[in-house]
A and B are shown apart, each in its own frame.
Chain A
């Protein structure tokens, strides 16, 4: 098919008497052809970033009565950043976000890996379980939020099940207890995002060369040794990708959590995203919000760059 296409285009060029293009010329043509896309990228990424940077050094708010482009008149000489350094609510939100991440991502990873290992072999009903397993990922996070909100009510199914198991009535107020609310929120996140981890890791697992596993078996390696010495090293790249995706996504945890607890009780489940959301919609101090968002962007970019570097190195090793 492609051979045919190449021939036709060559024939056409011959017919039109086209001369071969020089390298410079073709580079210029390429630039002109991709110009619309470049402008688009500029508008959706570079422009907002610069705008954010600009606002972050001012006291501008939508209530200032002037357009954002006039924010320079409200220049506050980096006060937003110095405020941020001593904002205890920000730091505790950051700490909470980190705790959620440290619990959720490894839990999702380990569960996903266990499930992927299970699904790499055949067992009866595999296809049905497979479909069921992927469903949480497809539920709209807001809907998942309502689901878990109702599950964790004091008269809700979670307590009903606990009552049935213990034999005495359980009425835990999950979402009004600071610690339990955080746990409930993490359970919801793990429920929703383990399938993604599972899916990515399964793809990696089936890509491990089977004959190398057989070779290891013949050399006397037991299943655990095979897993540690062959399977995990071969999956390194994909594990890094999966973890990076979930670390970045989990750091931004918002919708499910906000619907379940609204960041409460008090600020007990207030993560960075929830804090930013409140500052944006309730306090309306957009200059400060821009500063926080920028700081987080920098942190996440460092994570992403690190992950990508590791990936590039892993690929080099694997190639």
Chain B
């Protein structure tokens, strides 16, 4: 069994709480990304799963088995370090053979397993090369192979792509995803790069300040952020959030954005969810899901900046609290100083309680 259950997991370093009561269930064979800014507790969580750090409280279960007190060498966990931690004084073969050799496997057995894993990872021609002058994608494969040869049920990867240049990252992402399909292990992948999490993970656990914010598939996290943090963190740029108050109009429930006027009426389900709410709310919509309207109902805002990045154009509107960004697939011909009237796509609008930061949902 290689499912992982984290139950009320807590980690404190002195007075500093790195992780506050985390509950997370990772299914057997699942690719789970732990995503968050630096210092959010994702690496701490990973290190506790690996056994490098002891939890201050709570439980870690692999399947049914409690991992408390099980030393890291006995957890059957493969770990790929941020810089791969390849043994540079050895050859590729010696790196791959390290685990079985330390556990006293017979020479013939080691040779067979190294041969097999090298074949899978296309490392066979490189087996007798010194590991100190390999390119970074080879290093990644050696690091994965060195762990995979132990046939771990669980694979942990600690930001393995953070030292790789942007162009190569796409290649490595594809390779990594293919490897996971091949090995079918449970994978936990720590990253601060949402693109990596979105493209590779089955589910994403978004974390911030030691608190698990939301767990869901990449699209769930993108489309239905549980709170303001996730809304802002996921997406590039993140979700636009404008402060306002719910107000009744003759066309239905709207949000009164103050100087910006009323928003277009909220879709029925959202309006139901907000019934009775009278406090401040945050009106949110994705930068990609707003259209320019000529004379219709919309938010009129001054253009403050235009970024043209080839295929897309990012238009910055408004200032301070009332600033939003919109992304268009083509050059919309707006210049700084123009006034743009935008209308968010109704189905993409989300509303958050300004006091709690939580998404308002029906039911």
Give me the interface of A with B, judged by CB distance under 8 Å: 209, 211-212, 214-222, 225, 229-230, 233-234, 317-319
Contact = CB atoms under 8 A, between A and B. Distances in A.
A219 B144 CA distance: 12
B98 A216 contact: yes
A234 B89 CA distance: 7
A136 to B, nearest CB: 33
Interface of B: 50, 52, 72-74, 77-79, 81-83, 85-89, 98-99, 102-103, 130, 132, 146-147, 150
A240 to B, nearest CB: 14
B85 A220 contact: no
A232 B93 CA distance: 19
B73 A220 contact: yes
Contact of A211 (B81, B99, B103, B147): B81
Given A212-B87, A218-B50, A218-B72, A318 B132 contact: yes
A211 B84 CA distance: 8
Contacts of B81: 211, 214-215
28 contacts: A211-B81, A211-B85, A212-B86, A214-B81, A214-B85, A215-B79, A216-B102, A218-B50, A218-B79, A219-B99, A219-B150, A220-B74, A220-B99, A220-B102, A220-B103, A220-B150, A221-B73, A221-B98, A221-B102, A222-B73, A222-B102, A229-B102, A230-B87, A234-B89, A317-B89, A317-B130, A318-B89, A318-B132
B102 A233 contact: no
A318 B88 contact: yes
A212 to B, nearest CB: 5
A219 B98 CA distance: 7
**A-B complex: 7 closest residue pairs judged by Cβ atoms:** A219-B99, A211-B85, A215-B85, A221-B102, A220-B73, A233-B89, A212-B85
- Interface residue SS majority, chain A: helix
Given A219-B146, A220-B99, A214 B52 contact: yes
Contacts, number: 63
Contacts of B150: 219-220
Nearest to A221: B102
B49 to A, nearest CB: 12
Given A211-B85, A212-B87, A317-B89, A218 B102 contact: no
- Mostly, the B contact residues are mixed
Given A230-B87, A233-B89, A225 B52 contact: no
A194 B52 CA distance: 34
B102 A225 contact: yes
A209 B103 contact: no
Nearest to B50: A218
A117 B14 CA distance: 26
A211 B80 CA distance: 10
Given A215-B146, A220-B74, A317-B132, 5 more contacts: A211-B82, A212-B87, A218-B72, A218-B77, A219-B98
A318 B130 CA distance: 10
Nearest to A209: B85
A112 to B, nearest CB: 22
A211 B82 CA distance: 9
Contacts of B74: 220
A229 B89 CA distance: 9
Nearest to B79: A218
B103 to A, nearest CB: 5
B98 A229 contact: yes
A176 B46 CA distance: 65
Contacts of B73: 217-222
B96 to A, nearest CB: 10
Contacts of B50: 218
A40 to B, nearest CB: 40
B191 to A, nearest CB: 17
Contacts of B103: 220
Contacts of B77: 218
B132 A319 contact: yes
Most-contacted residue by chain A among B78, B79, B102, B147 (CB, 10 A)? B102
A57 to B, nearest CB: 49
Contacts of A209: 85
A318 B98 CA distance: 19
A87 to B, nearest CB: 46
Nearest to B99: A219
B52 A219 contact: no
A95 to B, nearest CB: 37
A317 to B, nearest CB: 7
